[in-house]
Structure 1
């Protein structure tokens, strides 16, 4: 009898230990709201929106302890539209992220699959758009620097370092998966450093395509899908994109203030422009020369009024050059108030305004994530919504 009880007890211990060595977590976020826009393609609009701030998603995250500080890790993350139940990211099953790899407590992690670039990993958290305090609709014009991860990268190998006393770094390389190795590829690198109340970050991203205005049309490429540029995976119809930037945040008491600068330089843009999804239907935004450029200057602040109530805001000034003497300037403002009903559920009210001044009549204001651009120089959107995390 004693032996039987001992065997049962030991079996329970070993089963618990085995379970502790391997884990899988189901997680997600649902963001739904009502948005009023003063001008979309010439008309005001009331819309139910999914992911106005943060894209709705669910995912599986797992790890297996291999011993010696080494783990096997994976993430599979699906993006979806809560308003109609359809999948996002061009109807991919795991369009937000899908990767597997190894993680070491001494040397960092190496992962392979569909992943975010280093600008998103390191620099975006210091911006307004890369956080829960501004999100999708607060992105810099057309999300030109990808801080809101409009483009995710296929065929990607990523390295992420461990935390060295507040300093972290990493990089990605996205294969073209074609015989033309340098064509239709992408790579990035970035770093961040936290020292007391200060946080610093910088990042660089480059997308290559040797075909002018090809915009990663090869279905096997790092940022593409089989349907090519028409799927909305593209921010720009350009042969080459180089994005770099840096930022700083300073926390004092319940407040955090920050500044982020980014620049995006485009090459081989002759005949190209901004993708229809990014520029709004029928807005006619096109580049007029062989190159284009965006410069973004963002100041942001967030303040915890109480443990449950937070306030946040940001102002971004964007200078652009579309070639041919077309040089629009954008002023974008985002203001948000948020009330936490619990640790997992919050309600928010956010207002966004953009004004574009340009020497071209074809460029209207366009807040990221809306259905259409404004027919005028200004566009205003107000959203009341709810977010639930699980």
Structure 2
């Protein structure tokens, strides 16, 4: 089964709570198209691919006004493959978000359940990742870093910084403060639930956010422990990013890193991107990233360029063309995110035509 576990800023912007005092909302997004991959295991391929520019989501949102600026809230979000109608992963419902909580205008937000950490909340939903503006899941981090050996990962390095949402933290408690002069913070802890070992299979994440007018900056740290064959694999992610909007143009910058404490493998990346609203119906976006690993991953590095031209048929529906190119050092095999089989050489290209909508 494909692994396209990711959420987009559009899901935050387009799928937010309604303004009613108490409500339950059914909403979602769909994306389908045709992609050409220049080299997948030594051969080119043309294929139907879905959930690329935005994820295919079915989402139930609810809130109840409790008075005094306090609301009870819940979020149940499922992701599925448009080509087969199968929920993912493992045909399970509500694997992307499943939480309940309280949201107060003065005290902040407290939620409990299966939910995303602050690498996503602060850096991605903070509008600092080029994947928001460019080509979605293809623009998340992967590359020639299979020796990262991240647990429960189909390539060892799929979405290695976690910003794509491939690793929500289960059984977690999460708090986000209200904004004070544009500054807010958050923290969460995921309970492993292992008898006699409080820290086993646990997770911790923190985030710091600042926004002032057209400028925003964010930072985040996440540590997750995973039990693999009786051993605890400890994976750490951290990063910082910023964005600025001037007129019809939004520019972003992002730095993220990962370290697998079990084998000492680590990778970092830096990215610059932007979006230009050329006209009400036309949007041009792009991103460039450079990724670099340490000696455990053979000191491999990769450059990646992504571009997308989108035409809005309506406020909810758009068509687009996109291109992604990755180039690695000699001796390494390029692997754009969501391509499960690496290139047989140091380069890989994807061209795509797609359609997306929301409801």
For the superposition of Structure 1 and Structure 2, which TM-score range results when normalised by the shorter chain? 0.7 to 0.9
Contact 1:205–1:242 at 8 Å: present in 2 too? yes
Cα distance per residue 1:2-54 (max 9 Å; x no partner): xxxxxxxxxxxxxxxxx954210010000111000001111110110111122
Q: Distance in 2 between matches of 1:346 and 1:238?
A: 44
Q: 1:317 aligns with which of 268, 290, 293?
A: 290
TM-fit CA distance, 1:293 = 0.7
Q: 2:249 aligns with which of 247, 255, 262?
A: 255
Q: Which aligned runs of 4 or more in structure 1 are off by greater than 3 angstroms? A: none
TM-fit CA distance, 1:251 = 1.3
Q: Distance in 2 between matches of 1:368 and 1:330?
A: 12
Are residues 1:264 and 2:258 paired?
Answer: yes
Contact 1:311–1:336 at 8 Å: present in 2 too? yes
- SS of match in other structure, 1:137: helix
User: How many residue pairs align between the two structures?
Assistant: 323
Q: Which residue of 2 aligns with 1:156?
A: 172
Q: Distance in 1 between matches of 2:232 and 2:337?
A: 20
Q: Distance in 2 between matches of 1:100 and 1:132?
A: 30
Q: Distance in 2 between matches of 1:96 and 1:308?
A: 31
* Inter-CA distance 148–322: structure 2 relative to 1 (3 Å threshold): farther
TM-fit CA distance, 1:165 = 2.9
- SS of match in other structure, 2:88: coil
Contact 2:134–2:306 at 8 Å: present in 1 too? no
Q: Which residue of 1 aligns with 2:340?
A: 371
Which structure's residues are more often strand, by fraction? 2
Q: Which residue of 2 aligns with 1:8?
A: none
Q: Distance in 2 between matches of 1:202 and 1:195?
A: 15
Q: Which residue of 1 aligns with 2:7?
A: none
* Inter-CA distance 238–42: structure 2 relative to 1 (3 Å threshold): farther
Q: 1:337 aligns with which of 274, 292, 309?
A: 309
Report the more deviating stretch, 154-163 or 57-66: 154-163
Q: Map residues 178-327 of structure 1 onto 2, 5 A cutoff.
A: 178-179=194-195, 180-209=197-226, 214=228, 239-269=233-263, 291-323=264-296, 326-327=298-299
Question: Structure 1: any 5+ residue segments left out of the alignment?
Answer: 1-18, 219-236, 270-290
Alpha carbon RMSD of aligned pairs, Å?
1.8
- SS of match in other structure, 1:136: helix
- SS of match in other structure, 1:172: strand
Q: Which residue of 2 aligns with 1:32?
A: 32
Q: Distance in 2 between matches of 1:369 and 1:156?
A: 27
Q: Distance in 1 between matches of 2:249 and 2:162?
A: 26
